[in-house]
Amino acid sequence: MSQNSQPAYPTQTPPPPANGEAATGAASLQAAELLLHLSRLVHGGQQDDKTQALTPAQWTALRYFARANRLSRTPSAFSEFHATTRGTASQVVKSLIAMGLLERRANQADGRSALIEVTPAGHERLRHDPLAALGAAIDALDPQTRQSFTRSLSQIGVTLARHRRAPVFGKCADCGHCDRSQPDAPWCRCMQDGLDGREMDALCVDFSPATSRS
């Protein structure tokens, strides 16, 4: 039970309904509510002792720009990731730039655009990310459960994104654009460029799940 009097999410199994289909629906809805509850818990108990506390949207943006690849470090890609309007995403980015946590830098690949980068102060702030507690709780699962949990969440993410006609974000290792015929020199068929270790591990707005392209 939580010590801050916030009621813990009810974990009891829902009573068995009359038929199996309804049972599946009730359990799935409970799982969906649990996901929302976890998300609220991450920021609900936040102890941000910095002078400028960040909102959940600002935390999401800071994390996003720290993890996104060069195709994706733009306000418009962030708006897709955060499922919000470009105007709202722009305001969040602007606020973080004003706080010195993000900055605009020239895009070497395209002189007409700029990329958003996390500043050293932004990286320092990320060391106190409230999401770390949830990460630690997931880390405490046994490896097989953790792997299966992560796979299930990815699958749910793909299904929801397709339903909303939103892009799916993912990494090169699972992407249909990634050519790994030469293991030492992975190649992105979308960017028409090589991929280094950092790119392989970054989030990408042009990700296309490998299974959907077969």
Task: Tell me whether residue 59 or residue 207 sits nearer to ligand SF4 (CB atom).
Answer: 207
Task: Tell me whether residue 134 or residue 200 sits nearer to ligand SF4 (CB atom).
Answer: 200
CA distances in angstroms from 63 to 41, 73, 117, 148, 188, listed in the order given = 17, 11, 11, 24, 24
Among 67, 89, 177, 209, binds ligand SF4 (CB under 6 A): 177
Per-residue contact track with ligand SF4, 120 to 159, x per CB under 6 A?
A: ----------------------------------------
d(CA 118, CA 64): 10
Among 42, 161, 191, 210, binds ligand SF4 (CB under 6 A): 191
Query: Total residues at the site for ligand SF4 (CB under 6 A)?
Result: 12
| Structural tokens at position 140 | 């405490």
Q: Of all residues in the chain, what percent are helix, strand and coil, respectively (each to 5)?
A: 50, 10, 40
Beta strands in the chain (DSSP E): 102-106, 114-118, 178-179, 187-188, 193-194
Binding site for ligand SF4 (CB under 6 A): 69, 171-172, 175, 177-178, 188, 190-191, 204, 206-207
